Amino acid sequence: MVETLLDAARPLLAHAFVLWGSPVTWLEIVAFALALAMVLANLRVHPVAWPLAIASSLLYALLFADSRLYGMAALQFVFVGVAFWGWWQWLRGTGDDGQALRVRRMAPKRRLAAAAATLAAWPALALILAAGTDAAVPWLDALPTVASVTGQVLLARKLVENWALWLFVNALSVALFASQALWLTALLYAIFAALSVVGWRRWRRLEGAVRG
């Protein structure tokens, strides 16, 4: 299945230019642009972020599979599923009070539960990747993969803490993609890390305005 999709995408996997000694494909360029637009929409809490997330995730799934980052490749399909759910949440979702979903913080117990679930899933996925695939860096691949799932769920529910988690994921992902010479994507995730700080501050102000 993956090989068939990669064969179909070969024209997009053609080299557009060379960055820092490594080729950058047209696929990576388009995915880069869509993903950056997605994060900018997330900063504004605009629902268009979700269809942008779906499109960029499908392209990145092909790119990562071609680079043998199978955890991150599989994650993109999880992202697509969560994106449809998140899109619905932002348009029609409600909070615990039954009111329209708004930017807010997590209860301390929920933060601990989210952290525990993420840390428990990390070695499980890493061992699966190491034993069942030729993954290039299974442990480094697995951690941002599982943390990204958590971050996506928090984002879909408009929880401020999603930005703190994305800051961690994006910083770690820079190292992951640099290890595979995906320089444009590494640059994108460095930008994402900076935007995570911006998003964290902006959503905290929004949450404060709602409470006020």
Q: How many residues does the chain have?
A: 212
Q: Is residue 109 part of a domain?
A: no
Domain count, the chain: 1
Q: Is residue 22 part of a domain?
A: yes
pLDDT at 13: 64
pLDDT at 15: 65
Q: Is residue 103 part of a domain?
A: no
Q: Is residue 125 part of a domain?
A: yes
Burial 142-161, CB ≥16 within 10 A → b, else e? bbbbbbbbbbbbbbbbbbbb
**Three-state DSSP class for 160?**
coil
Q: Is residue 159 part of a domain?
A: yes
Q: Is residue 110 part of a domain?
A: no
The one-letter code for the residue type at 200 is W
pLDDT tens for 168-192 read 999 999 988 888 888 878 888 999 9
* Rounded alpha-carbon distances, angstroms, from residue 195 to 49, 56, 126, 141, 165: 14, 17, 28, 22, 12
**Neighbouring-strand partners of residue 17:** 24
* Rounded alpha-carbon distances, angstroms, from residue 21 to 28, 83, 182: 16, 34, 11
Q: Is residue 10 part of a domain?
A: yes
Full domain range(s) for residue 23: 2-94+116-211
Q: Who wins on pLDDT, 14 or 27?
A: 27
Q: Is residue 106 part of a domain?
A: no
Backbone angles phi, psi at 181, to 5 degrees: 60, 30
pLDDT tens for 142-159 read 899 899 999 999 999 999
Sign of CA dihedral 7, 12, 16, 22: negative
